[in-house]
Amino acid sequence: MSLHITDAFDSGNIEVLDAADPQRIRLEIRKDNGSDFYQWFHFRVTGARGSALSMAIENAGGAAYLEGWPDYRACASYDRETWFRIDTDYADGVLTLHHTPECDTVWYAYFAPYSMERHQNLIAWAQTHVDVDLEVLGETLDGQAMDLLRVGAPGSGKRTIWVTARQHPGETMAEWWMEGFLARLLDDEDPVARVLRDRAVFHIVPNMNPDGSKRGHLRTNAKGVNLNREWDKASAENSPEVFHVLNRMRETGIDLALDVHGDEALPYNFIAGGEGAPNFDARGQELLDAYKAALKTASPDFQTAHGYAVDAPGTANLSVCTNYLANEFRCLAMTLEMPFKDNADLPDSEHGWSPERCRKLGAANLDAMLALVDRLR
């Protein structure tokens, strides 16, 4: 069987320069359409069972986040359900994947992919719960639906919680996190979920960037726009995804907003707040610290020692979701970051940071929300 490499599927991204020699396969990652961002890769190799593959991504040195390559190991799967890590090295601007497949076909990716088909399955499952309403807020530039799940009905004294994920489409761990979050929130046997649904209405956008997800982008929408730099200038022409969501946020108000992401470089789970927003105050700091402490208690996979530098007061970039929401709504707004690599505090040599661990961290966030829900107003 001759060697065959393809990316002709949902979220696929690779260019084949030369595949004549299995031990000297030459590849490149395509840029996000309309931008210079690239780092996400996802491709399939067939016909290499038992052959030692050496696959060199030759333009890795121009990728968006070079700090993401040291100590990184690529993901591989035979069934697209279980993803494991393979030997990977980075030198002289080239990222090289080393693997000997045990099956005829194997998929490789920057992180375990989360397809738009799986997204459809997620919202289809969620909408069958009696407390869930599924609404389309509008369409993306490619004509895909911007799906919103509302969990619970508005009522007197109920808090309003917004949870968004995957503004950057290559950060697929964010939608894996959503699976765990929704599975627990909609579990009628879970007392934490039941109390939260009694005390709050949840507005949930499992995928903020369907176009970038399907196109195999790292960071942008169909037009090459970074959605997490659009919150102070969202438009139907350039960033309809943010435009539609922000319009609904203004209708509902916000008590707590959590935006879920992945970080290429840091091997930790952490939260960044809106400390630098002009309207951020002592109460905001108290709530932010309390949420972090509650999540750290709920999950040993979360920590507070490592993360981003905190903006000085009044200096936050208000084009970023968390900063903008903290400032406009004077709410508890947070960005949750997960690693592409592994959690250095609890490493897993076989899987690294994985879909299952994302799901478990998503579920753990309900404990933190319960700890704060009555303090949000």
pLDDT on residue 2: 87
Q: What is this structure's pTM?
A: 0.98
* Domain spans of the chain, in order of start: 4-109, 116-375
Active site residue 337: yes
**What is the architecture, at CATH level 2, of domain 116-375?**
3-Layer(aba) Sandwich (3.40)
User: What sign has the CA pseudo-torsion 281, 287, 291, 292?
Assistant: positive
Asked whether the predicted pLDDT for residue 217 surpasses 80, the reply is yes
Q: What is the pLDDT of residues 57-105, one digit of tens each?
A: 999 999 999 999 999 999 999 999 999 999 999 999 999 999 999 999 9
Cβ(163)–Cβ(202) below 8 Å = yes
Beta-strand runs (E) in 58-158: 75-77, 84-85, 87-91, 94-99, 105-109, 132-139, 145-151
pLDDT on residue 330: 98
Active-site residue, selected from the candidate residues 264, 275, 328, 337? 337
> Amino acid letter at 8?
A
Asked whether the predicted pLDDT for residue 1 surpasses 70, the reply is no
Q: CA-CA distance, 274 to 154, in Å (whole number)?
A: 26
pLDDT on residue 55: 98
The fold of 4-109 is Immunoglobulin-like (2.60.40)
Asked whether the predicted pLDDT for residue 133 surpasses 90, the reply is yes
